[in-house]
Amino acid sequence: MYRALRRVPAETAHEIALRLIRAAGAVPGGPGALRRVLGPRDPALRVRAFGLNFPGPLGLAAGFDKDARGVAALGALGFGFVEVGTLTARAQPGNPKPRLFRLMDDRAIVNRMGFNNEGAAAAAARLRHRPRDVITGVNIGKTKAVPDEEAVADYVASARAVAGVADYVVVNVSSPNTPGLRDLQATTRLSPLLSAVRDVLDRAGGVPLLVKIAPDLADEGVDAIADLAVSLGLDGIIATNTTISRDGLVSPPAEVAAAGAGGLSGPPLRDRSLAVLRRLSTRAGDRLTLVAAGGIETPADAWERLAAGATLVQAYTGFVYGGPFWPRRINAGLAARARSLGLDSVSLAGSRAGIERRV
C-alpha cells in the first residue's frame, strides 16, 4: 500500500496516508497496541525539555497533520512528540493545486501549500480530546488575508485559541509560501510579535514558546534572532524550515522546474540546516532549547543534530519516504549509537561530541 501511494499525486497520497493512519488510531485499543510495538520504549531515548518528559527525541514536524486529526495514531507510530499545524486564526484553503511535489532522485519534497487549514479554533476543539500521553506542539502562522500591520493580532488570536490545549507553541515566520511572512523574521518586527504571543501564553499558565526560522537567513540574521529569543525569554528555536534554494539537486532540471516555487525539504536541506543549528548552539545553546529539523533521514543524521546541540529533532520528508516503520528505525539507531559510545542517554550526545572535539 505504501509503495502504491508513490504512484498517485503527492497531495492525494498524503491525504490517503493520513486517513489510513487515523483509521488505525480509531480502532479500539489501536493506538496502545501500536505504541507497544513501535513506540520509543528504550530508556536511553528519554529526553527532558520545556519541563516535559519526552519518551524519545524524534518528533513529527508541522505540516503532516495540519488540522490535528491524527495525533493519537501518529504518536503511536514511534514519534516522541507530534507538532500540528501550521494553523492560522482564520480558516483558509491555501494555494491553488497542484502544490505538493516529489523530487524522487533527491528524496525531497517541494511544497507551496500556503497554510491550508480549518483554523486554530477548529484544531483546538479536536486537541481537547487528544490523549494526554502524546506530547503535542502547535505551530501557528499568519492568515494570508490579514494585512501585515495586523499580523501581531492575528498570531495572538491563534495563540489564545490553542493555549489551553498545546504542550508548546511555535511561531512560524519562516514558511516561504505566504507572501511577506519571512519579512517578520526581521528583529524589529519579530520582537513585538513574539512579546505579544509570549504574554498570551504566560497568562495561560506558561506554555512554552518557540520560533521556527528559515535556513535561508544570513548568519547575522540567525545571530540576531538567537539574541532576541534569549532577551524575550523564549524557550527555544526550531532550525529550520524549508528552503527556497535549489542548489545541489540531482533531479532533472525539467522536473525541478515543473515543481515550481515553494519550500524544498529533505536531504538537500541537510547541510544548511546543520550549519544554522551549530551557529545557534554556539550563540545561545546553553540558554535555549534547540530543535533540529531539515534533512533528517537516517539515525546518523539525527545523532549528528543531537551532537551539534539539539535536544530534540523533527522530521517530515524522512517519514514520507521512509514509511510507517521509519520512526522505529530512527529510534533504534539512536539508542544503539548511544550505547556504542557508552552513554546512558541520547541527551548526552552533545557532551560526548564536545569531549571528542577536545581530544
- For residues 281-303, one letter each, b for 16 or more C-beta atoms within 10 angstroms of the residue's C-beta and e for the rest, the string is bebbbeebbbbbbbbbbbbebbb
Q: Which three cell numbers stand for residue 235?
A: 524557550
Q: CB within 8 A of 159, min separation 6: which ones?
A: 140, 169, 197, 200, 201
The answer to whether 55 and 66 have CB atoms below 8 angstroms apart is no
The answer to whether 343 and 356 have CB atoms below 8 angstroms apart is no
d(CA 47, CA 56): 6
d(CA 258, CA 27): 40
- At residue 263, φ and ψ (nearest 5 deg) are -90, 130
**CA 168: distance to chain centroid?**
12
d(CA 214, CA 217): 6
Catalytic one among 174, 175, 251, 347? 175
Residue 175 appears among annotated catalytic residues: yes
d(CA 58, CA 37): 16
The size of the chain, in residues, is: 359
Encoded amino acid at 342, one letter: G
List residues with catalytic annotation. Answer: 175
